[in-house]
Structures are given as C-alpha cells and as structure tokens.
C-alpha cells in the first residue's frame, strides 16, 4: 500500500465513523423525543434540518474551494509513465536510471539503488518509497516533485541522511549511508549537506552572522574563520550590511536568503532545499529561485523538493514521484511538454 492510499483509507474510515456518530445521535434524539411536546419536537426537527442544510452547504463549499492535495492528475501520470518507458525501454519506472548527456561517464555524487522505505501502520504495510533508483551528478540542479503522500518527503529524508531506507543502497560520493547509525548520519549531514528549509529555521535571538556561523560551529571551525566564511556568504546573498540584525527584522525573502547563506557556509557537496518558496509570495519566490540558480551556476549541486510543477520547471532536471515510485526522470524541457 502506498502512503497516499493509506492516508485516503484513514480519511474514509474517519468519515464512516462520523456517519456512525450521526446515526447514534439521531437514535438518542428519537428516544428522548417522547418527553418533548409536539410543538417543541417540531421546532427541534426544523432546527436540526436547518443546521444539517447549512452544514452540508459549508461542506460542499469547502470541497469546491479546497483542492485535494493528495489527488493525482491520472492523465498526466499516464503520459509521464509512457514517455519514461519509451525512453528507457523499461516497464518498471522504479528501476529506471536517467543519466544526463553532459554527465555520461562520470561517477554520480548521489546514488540511490532500489530504495524501499516501508512503515508498519497496525496491520498495514505502507510503502512510502517503492523501489526508487536515481543517480544525481555533481553540478546538477534537480527538482523532486510530487503531491502530498507521493513519497517525495520520505525520499528527501533519505537523501539528506535524516533517515535510512528499509532496503536498498544510498551512496554519497561513494560512501554508503544505508546502514549508518545516527551519529554517523549526523557527521554526513554536517560535512556534506547544506539544508534550506521552508520555514527558514533561523535562531530568533541570534543575529544573522551567528545564524550563518552555526554549521561551522558544529563542524569545529575556529571562531575567526567562522565569521569570515559566514560574512562571505552573507555578501553572496546581498545581506552583509544587515549582519547585526535579528531574523524578525527581515522580510520572508530575506530570511530565506540567510538560510541559503547558512547552507553554503560549510561548503557542502549538496544543497538540499525543502519547499524553499513554500512560505513566500510569487515575487519573492522568483528571487529565491534566482539565488538557487546562481549558486548552481557557481558549481553547487542543488536538489529541490516541491509539490508545485511551476517551481520544479525552474530546475534543469525533474524527478516526478507518485505512489512511492519514479514516474518521470528527465529534463525539465521534456517534462514541460508532457504536463
């Protein structure tokens, strides 16, 4: 069972429970109605009817106004799968490994071989990642895109060395992290990965310089070098003149730029950006995406996680996840033609 199917099953079960409670409430109402006068009973039923009508109306409006974040566009997924199979000659999307032309013959920076992440939910087995094989090369800008429940966040956790797969292998620069312990994973994160979070995750009581110094502090870098390197990255994102300010004194876009500077400070092999524009307006989102493009052009490898196709298309390569599987892995240009 995929993560999305498990979520939908839970929603259905909750809905059935609610219907059962409504029936019980009506039964109790019928039992006690003998003690109410005819007029009171009529008023009571009339009020219930009005309340039910209003409730149904509100529910219908909510359904119309709020799109289902878990619902896939099945026609789109079918097109992507067909294109992927035609390109690879494989009917197993989870086993496809796409290699960009410009990186043929190179060793990958990130290698994911037949990755499964399986959770036990009571009697159910949920396959959040279901046989994913992907190679990502140094200097790429890759977007991993998928709906809520698709398995993209689980894959991000594995790529970011925040979790390990149930089975399969994940290598960073040839180093297998698949069976590492927590302290070993922490060392990998500190040395090799810079994180950019949707909600920035800045320390509110520290100034910008101290926030950017944080990963260097954990890495044991001497204090003088910490400040020098942190200031260099603040200059890179255009915020060196605000180094003494606290995060609350900045706009959302500026805070995300500080987050990018912090991610770059440790000179990591990989920048992993989790929904970096999710908390920003469209204008500020473009600015932040512009910074990610710039650091990629400078040679940094960027992997961005998003649910939004329009954001994903800003990358050079797109990996589309659905039901825990890769249904497309290829250029953003080709992806745009299929959606």
Tell me if residue 238 falls in helix, strand or coil: coil
- Expressed in percent and rounded to 5, the helix, strand and coil fractions of the chain are 50, 20, 30
Chain-centroid distance, C-alpha 313? 16
Neighbours of 30 (CB within 10 A): 9
**Is the predicted pLDDT of residue 46 greater than 80, yes or no?**
no
Residue 179 has a pLDDT of 87
43/172: higher pLDDT: 172
How would residue 14 be classed by pLDDT, with cut points 50, 70 and 90? low
45/34: higher pLDDT: 34
User: Once rounded to an integer, what is the mean pLDDT over residues 263-280?
Assistant: 94
Residue 64 has a pLDDT of 47
Residue 123 has a pLDDT of 86
**Is the predicted pLDDT of residue 228 greater than 50, yes or no?**
yes
Distance between CA 135 and CA 308 in Å, rounded? 22
Q: What is the pLDDT of residues 74-127, one digit of tens each?
A: 999 999 989 888 887 665 544 657 899 999 999 999 999 999 999 998 888 999
Placement of tokens 């876009």 in the chain: 253
**Is the predicted pLDDT of residue 331 greater than 70, yes or no?**
yes
Residue ranges of domains in the chain: 3-65, 74-91+138-166+178-338
The residue ranges of DSSP E strands in the chain, in sequence order, are 110-121, 124-136, 141-145, 167-172, 175-176, 193-196, 270-274, 301-306, 317-322, 325-331
- Per the CB < 8 A criterion, the answer to whether 165 and 117 are in contact is yes
**Is the predicted pLDDT of residue 152 greater than 90, yes or no?**
yes
Average pLDDT over the chain, rounded to an integer: 85
CATH 3.30.360.10 fits 74-91+138-166+178-338, yes or no: no
Q: For helices 208-218 and 252-265, what crossing angle results, to 10°? A: 30
**Is the predicted pLDDT of residue 235 greater than 50, yes or no?**
yes
**Is the predicted pLDDT of residue 30 greater than 50, yes or no?**
yes
Question: Residue 321: beta bridge partners?
Answer: 326
- Per the CB < 8 A criterion, the answer to whether 256 and 288 are in contact is yes
Distance between CA 120 and CA 127 in Å, rounded? 9
Among the listed ranges 52-61, 165-174, 309-318, which one has the minimum average pLDDT value? 52-61
**Is the predicted pLDDT of residue 17 greater than 70, yes or no?**
no
Give the DSSP letter string of 17-84. Answer: HHHHHHHHHHHHHHHHGGGS-HHHHHHHHHHHHHHHHHHHHHHHHHHHHS--TT---HHHHHHHHHHH
Residue 122 has a pLDDT of 87
**Is the predicted pLDDT of residue 19 greater than 70, yes or no?**
no
4/71: higher pLDDT: 71
């Amino acid at each position: 069972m995929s993560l999305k199917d498990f979520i939908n099953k839970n929603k259905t079960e909750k809905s059935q429970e609610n219907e059962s409670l409504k029936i019980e409430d009506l039964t109790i109402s019928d039992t006690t109605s003998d003690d109410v006068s005819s007029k009171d009973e009529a008023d009571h039923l009339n009020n219930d009817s009005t309340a039910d009508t209003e409730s149904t109306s509100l529910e219908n409006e909510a359904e119309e106004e709020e799109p289902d974040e878990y619902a896939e566009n099945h026609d789109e997924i079918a097109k992507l799968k067909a294109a992927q199979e035609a390109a690879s000659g494989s009917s197993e999307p989870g086993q496809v490994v796409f290699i960009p032309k410009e990186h043929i013959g190179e060793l990958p920076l990130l290698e994911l071989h037949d990755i499964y992440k399986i959770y036990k939910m009571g009697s159910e087995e949920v396959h959040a990642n279901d046989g994913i094989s992907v190679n990502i090369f140094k200097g790429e800008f890759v977007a991993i895109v998928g709906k809520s429940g698709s398995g993209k966040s689980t894959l991000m956790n594995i790529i970011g060395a925040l979790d390990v797969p149930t089975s399969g292998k994940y290598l960073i620069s040839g180093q297998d992290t698949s069976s590492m312990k927590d302290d070993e994973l922490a060392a990998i994160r500190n040395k090799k990965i810079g994180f950019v979070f949707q909600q920035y995750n800045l320390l509110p009581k520290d100034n910008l310089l101290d926030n950017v110094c944080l990963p260097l502090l954990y890495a044991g870098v001497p204090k003088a070098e910490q400040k020098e390197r942190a200031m260099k990255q603040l200059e890179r994102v255009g915020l060196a003149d605000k180094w003494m300010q606290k995060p609350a004194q900045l706009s959302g876009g500026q805070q995300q730029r500080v987050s990018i500077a912090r991610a770059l400070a440790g000179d990591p092999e990989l920048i992993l950006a989790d929904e970096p524009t999710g908390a920003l307006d469209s204008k500020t989102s473009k600015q932040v995406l512009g910074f990610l493009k710039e650091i990629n052009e400078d040679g940094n490898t960027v992997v961005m996680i998003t649910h939004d196709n329009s954001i994903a298309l800003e990358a050079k390569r797109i990996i589309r996840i659905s039901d825990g599987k890769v249904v497309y892995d290829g250029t953003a240009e080709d992806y745009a033609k299929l959606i």
